Structure 1
Amino acid sequence: MFALGRLLVIGFLVLSVVYICLSLYSRAVRRDKLEAEWDEEIREGDREAFVQAGLKEYDGSLRRKLILGVYIVPLTLMSLIIYFTNFH
């Protein structure tokens, strides 16, 4: 039982690092796309305000929520493997 607890704690920490890195990377890519869009098409008004508005919209997007799959998919697979190994 102690081994399972240790596995879950270490797994959660590793998945948290992966989630943070993936989240920061995705946000940086979105920021770059917004800046490129402003440079190519808009060129009027405040560039930083446009980027901030786009990032605020991104914070509520489906893509941001899908990154939480970093936690869900590995834990589900691990649970299924443990279940099928022990009970089937």
Structure 2
Amino acid sequence: MALIRVLFIAFVVLTVVYVSLSFYSRARRRDKLEAEWDEGGIATPRDTFVQDGLRAYDGSLRRKLILGVYIVPMVLVGLIIYLVNFA
């Protein structure tokens, strides 16, 4: 029962970290797209350019790598539990 409680708390904490990291990464990408548009040479309107860039970001590898926030700690905890109990 204690393991379930710890895993639940870890899941909640990792969810907060994931959401924060996701918002931060998306905001950074938006800033970079806006700066790129401000440099000039782009014929599309600013809002359209930024929205298209964010849509491309949503399908990018970087966006998927943020899911490692869940995977890496859970795998490490599982590995530690296995090694302590069975190795």
Common topology (TM > 0.5): yes
Within a 5 Å distance, the mapping from 1:68-87 to structure 2 comes to: 68-87=67-86
Task: Spell out, residue by residue over 1:39-82, the C-alpha distance to the aligned partner (whole angstroms, 9 max, x if none).
Answer: 00335331011000000000000000000000000000000000
The unaligned stretches of length 5 or more in structure 1 are none
How far is the alpha carbon of 1:26 from its aligned partner? 0.2
Identity of aligned residues (%): 67
Instruction: State the SS of the aligned residue for 1:42.
Output: coil
The unaligned stretches of length 5 or more in structure 2 are none
Task: Spell out, residue by residue over 1:8-62, the C-alpha distance to the aligned partner (whole angstroms, 9 max, x if none).
Answer: 1000000000000000000000000000000003353310110000000000000
Distance (Å, rounded) in 2 between the aligned partners of 1:28 and 1:74? 25
Provide the TM-score with structure 1 as the length reference.
0.95
Aligned length: 87
Equivalent AA in structure 2 for residue 81 of structure 1 = I
